[in-house]
A and B are shown apart, each in its own frame.
Chain A
Amino acid sequence: MTSAELARRAPGSDRTSRLHGVRWLVAAAAIVALYVHAWRDTHVSPGEFVSSFPNLVRLVGEMFPPDWSVLHASVWAGVLTFDTALLGTTAAFVVALLLTPLAARNISPNRALYELSRAVIGFARTIPLWVSGLLFLVVVGPTPFAGVLALGVETIGVLPKLYAETVEEMDMGPVDALRVSGARRAQVFIHGVLPSVAPTFVGLVIYRMDSNVRSALILSAFGAGGIGFLLFNSIELFQWAQVSTELIVVFVLVLAVERVSILVRSRIT
């Protein structure tokens, strides 16, 4: 190979850098096009926002003072939302404990059960929360129970997957030691696997509880009971003073659950 050929192939040569520049331009143009489309698609209009600012001020003005007459009902609706999240999360937690020994590749008894359990988890994850919420409203009727079921399904799509991944990453040494002494699969799972992953499992389920309270808020707007439903009604009736009371309850509920969640997770050893 001559020195001229070498120079042509070297990274800094004219030809390669020109090629590089063209590629760069194409990529930049594509990104700009993406943003322009998204901007037009969503009718983003800073001018509109600025000119409608007085509306926002008027709205916030009407929220004060909050209408405390709905406080009692709001608090209990908030508790109902919490209850919905609690039961949905707990149901999913139990299912997760049963699915994990099948869905973790390193302890799964066989390929078929592994694929089946992964399919169940994957299927649960593909259904949007509000869709399963509406479906369960039709199936079990307009009660918060529909919310419990929808949240349960939603969480079964996530929690067992995270659990199985935790198990797949754990140190298998002690697990093998129990297995080779002739312990049953279930015994190995209870005494060899669970102790090692318990702190992570508890941390994950509490984190899910935290986010499920927020999901339950959205779900309740669809009529599955709870504070979201009150908010939805108040907004539809332009009762802004009620809206502010309800928002305060939501605020306290979400923050309280989050604080407890952080506290518990920091205490797990």
Chain B
Amino acid sequence: MRLIEPDGGEVTLCGVGLLGCGGEQLRAARRQAAMVFQQVLVVRRRTALENVAFGALGELPLRRSLSTRLFPAEIRARALDSLERVGLADLAAQRASTLSGGQAQRVAVARALCQRARVVLADEPVASLDPRAAESVLSLLADVAHNENLGVLVVLHQPELARRFADRLVGFLDGGISFDRAPTDVTDDEIETLYRNDDDER
């Protein structure tokens, strides 16, 4: 997504090479993928609902987005829907700084939904959450993948969680793919191998 520039190779998103484009092209490409991050990245001094609506900023002209009050009604409705989808509609008016880590990460997922992207990329979305919150965020992501016609790609360091929630497991080892199949077809030994040499490598 060009947050960090790669040393080499190619990054393709929905058929568009990200490295060659800039400005408006890059913006358009970025709108195709919504991201959920390792740290819970919400704007703390804005409400949950406003944070969700920020997912749609990319499609708004500047004059309708100078203030959250100028957001079109359609976007507000969509943001509320998204927030409802993650089960937090009753916290819509609350400042993000008052939410728990798990709630805030669900707001981040709602923001991703509000973006109406084609894929959701989640980079260790539960790394900073307690087990129960992790559970709720992952089942939410799985649910979204199954019911919203969205591709969801999640990077995880917890094989047992990956096994439970994913439809397809891809193991990375030393910069290459070591397996790529349904969770039921992946043996414990294969997962073991990924973490044997270096705990920090995927």
Interface residues of A (CB under 8 A from B): 173-174, 176-184, 186-188, 190-192, 195-196, 198
Verify if B28 is at the interface (C-beta below 8 Å from A).
Answer: yes
What mask results when residues 49 to 93 of chain B are scored 1 for a CB within 8 Å of chain A, else 0?
Answer: 010001101111010011110000000000000000000000000
Q: Apart from A178-B43, A180-B1, what are 7 other A-B pairs with CB-CB below 8 Å?
A: A173-B37, A182-B27, A182-B57, A184-B62, A186-B62, A191-B65, A195-B43
Inside 8 A of B117's CB, which chain A residues have their CB? Answer: 181
Number of interface residues of B (CB under 8 A): 34
- With beta carbons under 8 angstroms apart, the residue of A174, A182, A186 that contacts B43 is A174
Nearest opposing residue in chain B for A184, CB measure: B62
Rounded to whole angstroms, the CA-CA distance of A176 and B37 in the bound complex is 10
Q: Are B30 and A174 in contact (CB-based, < 8 A)?
A: no
Question: Lowest 7 CB-CB distances: which A-B pairs, in order?
Answer: A182-B58, A182-B31, A183-B57, A182-B30, A177-B41, A173-B41, A195-B45
Verify if B44 is at the interface (C-beta below 8 Å from A).
Answer: yes
Interface residues of B (CB under 8 A from A): 1-3, 27-31, 34-35, 37, 39, 41-46, 50, 54-55, 57-60, 62, 65-68, 108, 111, 115, 117
Rounded to whole angstroms, the CA-CA distance of A192 and B117 in the bound complex is 20
Nearest opposing residue in chain B for A180, CB measure: B1
Q: Are B54 and A196 in contact (CB-based, < 8 A)?
A: no
Q: How far is the CB of B168 from chain A (nearest CB, A)?
A: 24
Q: Are A180 and B35 in contact (CB-based, < 8 A)?
A: yes
Q: Are A182 and B28 in contact (CB-based, < 8 A)?
A: yes
Rounded to whole angstroms, the CA-CA distance of A183 and B24 in the bound complex is 10
Whether A190 touches B35, Cβ cut-off 8 Å, given contacts A181-B55, A182-B30, is no
Whether A181 touches B58, Cβ cut-off 8 Å, given contacts A173-B37, A176-B3, A191-B65, is yes
Whether A181 touches B44, Cβ cut-off 8 Å, given contacts A176-B3, A191-B65, is no
Chain B CB within 10 Å — which of A173, A178, A181 has the most?
A181
Rounded to whole angstroms, the CA-CA distance of A180 and B41 in the bound complex is 12
Whether A195 touches B46, Cβ cut-off 8 Å, given contacts A183-B57, A187-B57, is yes
Nearest opposing residue in chain B for A183, CB measure: B57
Rounded to whole angstroms, the CA-CA distance of A174 and B108 in the bound complex is 10
Pairs A–B under 8 Å by Cβ, sample size 10: A177-B37, A177-B111, A181-B117, A182-B31, A183-B27, A183-B57, A184-B62, A187-B65, A190-B66, A196-B43
Q: Are B65 and A198 in contact (CB-based, < 8 A)?
A: no
Q: Are B46 and A180 in contact (CB-based, < 8 A)?
A: no
Inside 8 A of B45's CB, which chain A residues have their CB? Answer: 195-196, 198
